[in-house]
């Protein structure tokens, strides 16, 4: 009989709608209790494979440059890799002092970067994908709402840098869906038409087809106007 100690422990990754797994961690901005320290704010928890790597460097510079934009959308950023704290500090200092990319330079990363040398947090969030790499976290992105619920998850392989405009779009779209009880169609941006949920009865479907405020292509596909300023006024902090 196989010794239980030799069996690999399988941890399922959290799913959309789950409570974000709790953890305490050391970061470049001090100790954190996650997600309780971020209650009341949206949070993006994201992992990267390793410090002192070029794709990760380009990503951190981009995120740091956009941090204020995310803050105005009530969204905080938290990074993670399985490197140690001193490696994190040295890497972030190098970014600020030496790296210039796409016109960005002297970039200071102010959001916390988690030390996870034991891989405890990375495993808890399913960030270690053994068929990609067993010792590095993939580029995972968890969108967590103010109640600590996971609302969206995006995963990228080690070789693929993320699109940070898309990450910002997701945060705005998730909040718009909550604020206005709507859904957002493909490629939605604030100011585009939004989708009304499917009708729950034949009567509702018939009424919708005659509703002057809705543009119904058929009973199940109805959109309405939602102007950009209305969306931003409800989501973006002045």
Q: Among 128, 151, 176, identify where a domain stops.
A: 176
Clarify whether residues 91 and 189 are in a common domain.
Answer: no
Clarify whether residues 33 and 118 are in a common domain.
Answer: yes
Outline where DSSP puts E strands in the chain.
23-27, 30-34, 42-47, 75-81, 113-115, 139-144, 150-156, 194-196, 215-218, 221-224
Cα–Cα distance measured from residue 238 to residue 234, given in angstroms and rounded to the nearest whole number: 10
Distance from the Cα of residue 62 to its chain's centroid: 14
Q: With contact defined as beta carbons under 8 Å apart, do 47 and 88 qualify?
A: no
- Provide the CATH number for the domain around residue 220: 3.30.1020.10
Q: Among 150, 176, 202, identify where a domain stops.
A: 176
pLDDT in tens, 10-61: 557 899 999 999 999 999 999 999 999 999 999 999 999 999 999 999 999 9
Is pLDDT above 70 for 237? yes
Q: Which residue has the higher pLDDT, 6 or 75?
A: 75
Q: What is the pLDDT of residue 11?
A: 55
Active site residue 75: no
Clarify whether residues 26 and 108 are in a common domain.
Answer: yes
pLDDT in tens, 190-215: 999 999 877 656 656 666 766 668 89
The domain in which residue 190 lies consists of 181-235
Mean pLDDT of the 155-163 span = 95
Mean pLDDT of the 76-100 span = 97
- Provide the CATH number for the domain around residue 26: 3.40.30.10
What's the number of domains the chain is made of? 2
- Choice among 56, 75, 202, 222 that is catalytic: 56
139 is in an annotated binding site: yes
Question: What's the predicted TM-score (pTM) here?
Answer: 0.91
């Amino acid at each position: 009989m196989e010794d239980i100690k030799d069996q690999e422990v399988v941890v399922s990754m959290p799913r959309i709608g789950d409570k974000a797994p709790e953890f305490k961690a050391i970061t470049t901005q001090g100790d954190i209790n996650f997600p309780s320290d971020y209650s009341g704010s949206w949070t993006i928890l994201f992992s990267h494979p390793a410090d002192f790597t070029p794709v990760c460097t380009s990503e951190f510079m981009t995120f740091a440059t956009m941090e204020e934009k995310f803050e105005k959308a009530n969204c905080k950023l938290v990074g993670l890799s399985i490197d140690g704290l001193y490696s994190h500090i040295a890497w972030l200092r190098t970014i600020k002092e030496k790296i210039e990319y796409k016109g960005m330079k002297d970039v200071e990363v102010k959001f916390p970067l988690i030390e996870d040398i034991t891989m405890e947090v990375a495993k808890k969030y399913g960030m270690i994908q053994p068929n990609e790499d067993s010792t590095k976290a993939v580029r995972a992105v968890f969108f967590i709402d103010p109640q600590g619920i996971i609302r969206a998850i995006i995963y990228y392989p080690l070789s693929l840098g993320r699109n940070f405009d898309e990450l910002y779009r997701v945060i705005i779209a998730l909040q718009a869906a909550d604020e206005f009880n709507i859904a957002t169609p493909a490629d939605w941006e604030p100011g585009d038409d939004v989708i009304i949920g499917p009708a729950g009865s034949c009567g509702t479907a018939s009424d919708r087809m005659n509703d002057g405020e809705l543009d119904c292509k058929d009973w199940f596909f109805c959109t309405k106007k939602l102007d950009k300023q209305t969306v931003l006024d409800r989501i973006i902090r002045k």
